[in-house]
Amino acid sequence: MTTVWAAFLACSFLCTSSQHIYSKENDRCATNEETMMPIRELVIQQDGIQKSVDSLRQMIKRLEDDVTNIKSAMVIPKDCKDLHLHGHKKSGVYAIYPYGTIISHVLVYCDMTTMGAGWTEIQKRISGSMDFNRTWTEYKNGFGAAEQDVWVGNDMFHQLTKENTSSLYVSITLQNGTTLYEMYDVFSVSDEAGKYQFYLAGPAMGTLGTSMIDTGDSRTELKKIVSLFPAP
């Protein structure tokens, strides 16, 4: 019994002193390299699993981005309000689809900052270089450029407003730099058969005055809206 114990102690001492580890499972002294190999293999496996997880996360992120882009591409914005609701917050020229088909886009300027944002600019006269003395057909189809003086077209006015859910914002800048505005809660334009009749209703608010709607004040109101378009 004493001899066996001494032999075990000697083996344990030899393993320790020569940087070996006693393997009880194999009943022998194993090298550090042999002992660490399973641990290294486990670390390598864990590292491989982590890389696979990271790769899967990247793939999921790409798929999510693709889905977002597909959803965005599937949206056919009728007007600038639709664009604003889908994340476009910067004012500028955009393509809208008032006729509801992807092949009938119209380039317009979208105001994404004024009073609630998402305003579709339908008429603009700034430079004075654009001649607005036009024919019925020209007013019907529109003329000018979105980023400059423009009239987007009576047909498009009708398409944008026929559901009677549109508002109208009118802004006029005087020569002294003062800007006056008026916003009308309800705005619509009839179709060509109705000679593009212009309709406004309150409530209205602003600094320009409400002379284009019935306010009950005969001194300031227009009893009849004069057509803005030349007769056919």
* Together in a domain, 199 and 139: yes
Domain of residue 195, residue span? 122-206
Which residue, 104, 103, 100, 97, is CA-closest to 80?
A: 97
Count CB neighbours of 113 within 10 A: 13
CB 92 within 8 Å of CB 83: no
* Together in a domain, 65 and 131: no
CB 214 within 8 Å of CB 225: no
Q: Does the pLDDT at position 73 exceed 70?
A: no
CATH number of the domain residue 200 falls in: 3.90.215.10
In a domain, 108, yes or no: no
> How confident is the model at residue 25, as a pLDDT?
53
Q: Does the pLDDT at position 64 exceed 50?
A: yes
> How confident is the model at residue 23, as a pLDDT?
47
Last residue of a domain, one of 55, 71, 87: 71
In a domain, 35, yes or no: yes
Count structural domains, the chain. 2
Of 84 and 3, the one with more pLDDT: 84
Mean pLDDT of the chain: 77
> How confident is the model at residue 13, as a pLDDT?
41
Could you tell me how many helices (H) and strands (E) the chain has, helices first?
A: 5, 11
In a domain, 79, yes or no: no
Global pTM? 0.61
The model's pLDDT over 190-226, given as tens digits with 9 standing for 90+, comes to 999 999 998 888 778 888 876 665 555 544 443 333 3
* Together in a domain, 130 and 63: no
In a domain, 144, yes or no: yes
The model's pLDDT over 92-105, given as tens digits with 9 standing for 90+, comes to 999 999 988 777 88
In a domain, 220, yes or no: no
In a domain, 162, yes or no: yes
Count CB neighbours of 65 within 10 A: 10
27-46: average pLDDT: 63
Q: Does the pLDDT at position 128 exceed 90?
A: no
In a domain, 146, yes or no: yes
- Name the pLDDT band for 90 (thresholds 50, 70, 90): very high
* Together in a domain, 65 and 130: no
Count CB neighbours of 110 within 10 A: 25
In a domain, 127, yes or no: yes
Q: Give SS3 for 230.
A: coil
> How confident is the model at residue 28, as a pLDDT?
54
- Name the pLDDT band for 88 (thresholds 50, 70, 90): very high
Structure tokens at 197: 């009749």
Q: Give SS3 for 62.
A: helix
